Structure 1
Amino acid sequence: MDSPAPAVRPGGIVGVLAVAGIVAALMQTLVVPLIGDLPRMLDTTASNASWVITVTLLAAAVATPITGRLGDMYGKRRMLLVCASLLIVGSVICALSSSLIPMITGRAVQGMGTGIIALGISALRDVLPTERLGSSIALLSASMGIGGALGLPIAAVVAENASWRVLFWGVAVLSLLITVLIWLVVPATPALGAGSRFDLLGGLGLGAALICLLLAVSKGGDWGWTSVTTLGMFAAAIVLLLAWGWWELRTRDPLLDLRVTARPQVLLTNAASVVIGFAMYAQSLIIPQLLQLPAETGYGLGQSMLAMGLWMAPGGVMMMLMSALGARLSAARGPKVTLFVGSLVIAAGYGSSMALMGSTWGLMIVVCISSGGVGMAYGAMPALIMGGVPQSETASANSFNTVMRSVGTSVSAAVVGVVLAQMSMQVGGYTVPTENGFRTGMLIGCAVALVAAAISLSIPVRRAVSTGRHAAPAPAHAESKV
């Protein structure tokens, strides 16, 4: 017999899910201070060691839509527990690793657990009263930025003063705590699996297409953008996406209902998500380098890894504060307006860098402005998605939106990487980007944010849909506690 579900405590639910998002984001930034040491730690080459970062991105892109659909079918709380368990297992594998293959395996398992963020946002629609929904979505969306902001200085301190394994053991413990809290605090959510089946072929097809696309984008610089491998990956991604779309339109229970996704509100929000993901990530590639490059370059600020993390940490705080402001704006004017304003704030942050790039304080201000805009935009996008899809598809639609942001960040890494590589010079035997290269990268981020603002203005907002492929189940069909 199932044990009773925990009583609904809105504040506790939001707090637990926000911490879960912070832990997932923290996991993703853990290895940044270790990048230079990974080849020595794992007895491998720098090229092979880069897979420790790439595999997390790939695993997250593949697993997030799948866990989202399973959350809609069998209950989001159940899948939240699965994702938290994956974070534990992956972190333990990494902590015990001494060679490349186990580390890559552990990072892949960790990546599979990052769907906890999209699931948490989607679960709010099921368990919170309407008046709490907007502010809670904004807070959970901001948790990604908070985790990223905390991750750099924490990981730098640990890496400088203790074994790198402590980082992964710490995330394992935090993930275990999150698992227990989800079990105790988050109530059961509706399970809509009766009479439907999981679209395994659709999941495999989308996963294969995303792997080909993201590999081509993230590794194209190493392989050569015109190489047979890169072009073959792009071609395979196109063919697989077309075949996947054909299948999804014909199967009875698709992984993602493309007819719903094609609705202008959802389609344009996803398009804006790609562009916002690009704009958000560009500063993360440029500003840390500016802070850490030697002062002898004439524009580098000579900061340590720890100092760099501390200078960027206020951005996470600003993201949280502005997400709350964005929630109030959404309540008054709608999430479309919040997305538009957030995009303009991001553009203003990038634009301000033209005058503020020469000092640590100036770059901190740039980070705070841009991060504030990201906080507003990230809180608005899930609200727009959930306002345009049936409740039976909330998690799968939100998960796909998360993937769209990941595609944007991958494209950003590729484009900014090419710009900085082309606009570089030799300093002390090393190749470093020029000041004009950094300025060009920031101006690209500004332009892309303005494109996001233009897209947001074209979003036609429609009322939330209450019915979909499946009727809402009776309360007796809610997921059980076990």
Structure 2
Amino acid sequence: MVHTPAPQAGPESLPDVPSEAVSASGRPPKGLLIALLWTAQVLSASSVIAAFAQADVAQHFHTAHIAWFGLIYSLVGTLMTPFAVRLGDIFGKRRIMLALIALGLVGDVLTALAPTFGVLLVGRAIAACYAPMAALVFATTRDVLPPRRVGPVSGVIGATLGAVVAICPVIAGWLMDDFGFRGALWFVAAVTAVAFALVYRFLPETPRRSRGEPFDWWGGLLLGGSISALIYAIGQGTTWGWTDSRMLGLIAGALVGFVGFALVERAVTHPMMDVRMLMRRRVSTVLVVTSVAQGTAFAAAAVMTVVIPLYPHIPGVSDGLGWTAMHSALIGLPAGIVLFLVGMAAGLATRRVDPRLPWLLGLALATGGLLLQAFYHHNESQIIVTGVVASLGMGMIYASVPILVVGAVSAREQGVASGMSMMLVGLMTTVAAQVIFTIMGNSSVVMKGTAFYRDAGYQQAYIALAASMAFALLLSLFLPKPQMPEEE
């Protein structure tokens, strides 16, 4: 079949913004905003809580395969994302969001009740059904809000990650101390249940942009499967070795899958993704720089802010600080608060300034903050001060990403672009995390089968993270000016 690009959505082809979505003044009601904010961060909250519970889960089930606790979540979520985005265009995003959140809740409950580690992994795989939620939320924002509100609200949604970073570690520490890992997992289920109630009550249905079009199953399987294979291969790099035949086979298979995806998308009448969209400089540059920056930031938060505080201090063996989870969370609280407040301000400021300005400033501050952390991470005061500096930049980054993606694509392409952004961020986070562990492993001491890291490894890892952020800053100098919805 000959590929014919889908027609661009224009005013005559799309329904008006649902009347219940905005007030007479054009301002969205608080219930709608809360539904969007809460639902977008369900995945982040779940990931933070689960990260704190991981060690206790491993000890309770006496398993050496605890890496699957997080890995299976990433694999299933990545595979599902292109299907969820496309189904949202066909059936309406609200319907798909409710279905995915309901499945995710079933998985959360099964995870919390799991009698064995195998059952727990099944629950985590089902819970990954709401992994595409952020992509659907950002696309929904463009569908249900007036154009002039899309950019600022998208920025605020991105900035609420700061609230998750600030609050969830404290909650996780309290739950782990008083109720164990099952208490933490039940809290994740409660967060998901609230998301379902908010979406059901406050979110209007969105336009069905692809009604009656055949579903591109092969395109979705090739795209999601290829990225999942690549994430799994990179995630096993430090375990298998980077020249292992399994590693090389998965990477080769992923590359073949990407080529197959491109060929399929150019051949079908209604592709999962118009690959020519990725060839536009505005789109490709935004997706690359945002995924590199966010992947670096997420890896730094998930690895460095957990390993250094929580690993023990053993002279000559381990240069961790040996803090408790609650103490670590409280020390990180100021940085999380700053991240949230700066992100909110940056998101709202984009109504008046070019969103590239807070983005570039955020990258510069984040690079400087990571360099400071490379040399000053040895006590509470150093971690608080350097963490606040880095968070000034991270807040601007998190707030600017959804705005840049919105400004790079049309309304019809928004869901696909957001989904691709989420998948690339997951890939870059995996790459950055593995690079960090490889660097730290070069300065580690293995004792009784456990690797303990020395200060030289921490310093080199932070410098590598700063270099990655600086690379994103350099690429961002070539970002074209975003075209915001109100300018279309």
Q: TM-score, normalised by structure 2?
A: 0.89
Q: One-letter code of the match for 1:456?
A: S
- Of 241-250 and 348-357, more deviation after overlay is shown by 348-357
Distance 1:291 1:167, change over 3 A: closer
Counterpart of 1:474 in structure 2 is none
- Of 120-129 and 315-324, more deviation after overlay is shown by 315-324
Counterpart of 1:476 in structure 2 is none
Counterpart of 1:27 in structure 2 is 46
- Of 440-449 and 171-180, more deviation after overlay is shown by 171-180
1:161 lines up with 2:181 in the alignment:
no
Counterpart of 2:55 in structure 1 is 36
Counterpart of 2:10 in structure 1 is none
The whole-number CA distance in structure 2 between the counterparts of 1:154 and 1:176 is 17
Distance 1:361 1:64, change over 3 A: farther
Q: One-letter code of the match for 1:28?
A: S
- Aligned CA RMSD, in angstroms, stands at 2.4
The whole-number CA distance in structure 2 between the counterparts of 1:251 and 1:369 is 49
1:162-220 deviation per Cα after TM superposition (whole angstroms, max 9, x unaligned): 14222222222222222121111111211112231221111111121012100111011
Q: Are the counterparts in 1 of residues 339 and 392 from structure 2 also a CA contact under 8 Å?
A: yes
Distance 1:353 1:213, change over 3 A: same
Distance 1:6 1:331, change over 3 A: closer
Structure 1 position 465, deviation (Å): 7.9
Q: One-letter code of the match for 1:25?
A: S
Q: Are the counterparts in 1 of residues 166 and 336 from structure 2 also a CA contact under 8 Å?
A: yes
Counterpart of 1:305 in structure 2 is 325
The whole-number CA distance in structure 1 between the counterparts of 2:95 and 2:50 is 29
Counterpart of 2:308 in structure 1 is 290
Distance 1:337 1:197, change over 3 A: farther
Structure 1 position 240, deviation (Å): 0.6
Identity rate of aligned residues, in percent? 25
The whole-number CA distance in structure 1 between the counterparts of 2:285 and 2:485 is 17
The whole-number CA distance in structure 1 between the counterparts of 2:423 and 2:450 is 35
1:463 lines up with 2:480 in the alignment:
no
Specify which of 181, 185, 195 is matched with residue 212 of structure 2: 195
SS class of match (1:392): coil
Counterpart of 1:210 in structure 2 is 227
1:127 lines up with 2:147 in the alignment:
no
The whole-number CA distance in structure 2 between the counterparts of 1:16 and 1:175 is 12
Counterpart of 2:14 in structure 1 is none
Q: Are the counterparts in 1 of residues 21 and 144 from structure 2 also a CA contact under 8 Å?
A: no
Q: Are the counterparts in 1 of residues 338 and 392 from structure 2 also a CA contact under 8 Å?
A: yes
1:374-393 deviation per Cα after TM superposition (whole angstroms, max 9, x unaligned): 22122222222222222112
Q: Are the counterparts in 2 of residues 277 and 406 from structure 1 also a CA contact under 8 Å?
A: no
1:336 lines up with 2:356 in the alignment:
yes
Alignment coverage as a number of residue pairs: 463
Distance 1:184 1:165, change over 3 A: same
1:79 lines up with 2:96 in the alignment:
yes
The whole-number CA distance in structure 2 between the counterparts of 1:464 and 1:32 is 36
- Of 339-348 and 21-30, more deviation after overlay is shown by 21-30
Specify which of 223, 241, 244 is matched with residue 224 of structure 1: 241
Distance 1:72 1:361, change over 3 A: farther
Q: One-letter code of the match for 1:115?
A: P
Counterpart of 1:259 in structure 2 is 276
Q: Are the counterparts in 2 of residues 71 and 77 from structure 1 also a CA contact under 8 Å?
A: yes
Q: Are the counterparts in 2 of residues 55 and 104 from structure 1 also a CA contact under 8 Å?
A: yes
SS class of match (2:204): coil
Q: Are the counterparts in 2 of residues 424 and 433 from structure 1 also a CA contact under 8 Å?
A: yes
Specify which of 163, 184, 190 is matched with residue 173 of structure 1: 190
Q: One-letter code of the match for 1:110?
A: A
Q: Are the counterparts in 1 of residues 407 and 484 from structure 2 also a CA contact under 8 Å?
A: yes
Q: Are the counterparts in 2 of residues 389 and 464 from structure 1 also a CA contact under 8 Å?
A: no
Structure 1: gaps of 5 or more residues: 469-482
The whole-number CA distance in structure 1 between the counterparts of 2:181 and 2:448 is 29
SS class of match (2:41): helix
- Of 12-21 and 32-41, more deviation after overlay is shown by 32-41
Distance 1:407 1:430, change over 3 A: closer
1:71-127 deviation per Cα after TM superposition (whole angstroms, max 9, x unaligned): 222222222212321221111110121112221111112222021112112211111
Structure 1 position 138, deviation (Å): 1.4
Distance 1:59 1:315, change over 3 A: farther
Distance 1:465 1:133, change over 3 A: closer
Distance 1:128 1:297, change over 3 A: farther
Specify which of 142, 152, 157 is matched with residue 140 of structure 1: 157
The whole-number CA distance in structure 1 between the counterparts of 2:418 and 2:101 is 18
- Aligned positions of 1:349-360 closer than 5 A: 349-360=369-380
The whole-number CA distance in structure 2 between the counterparts of 1:222 and 1:463 is 44
Q: One-letter code of the match for 2:414?
A: T
Counterpart of 2:413 in structure 1 is 393
SS class of match (1:425): strand
Structure 1 position 6, deviation (Å): 4.7
The whole-number CA distance in structure 2 between the counterparts of 1:434 and 1:60 is 34
Q: One-letter code of the match for 1:77?
A: R
Structure 1 position 241, deviation (Å): 0.7
SS class of match (2:97): helix
1:124-165 deviation per Cα after TM superposition (whole angstroms, max 9, x unaligned): 111122333222111211233432443323222212211422
Q: Are the counterparts in 1 of residues 294 and 397 from structure 2 also a CA contact under 8 Å?
A: no
Q: Are the counterparts in 2 of residues 121 and 137 from structure 1 also a CA contact under 8 Å?
A: yes
SS class of match (1:183): helix
The whole-number CA distance in structure 1 between the counterparts of 2:198 and 2:169 is 25
1:412 lines up with 2:432 in the alignment:
yes
The whole-number CA distance in structure 2 between the counterparts of 1:328 and 1:7 is 20
Q: Are the counterparts in 1 of residues 112 and 186 from structure 2 also a CA contact under 8 Å?
A: yes
Q: One-letter code of the match for 1:253?
A: H
Distance 1:82 1:5, change over 3 A: farther
- Of 20-29 and 449-458, more deviation after overlay is shown by 20-29
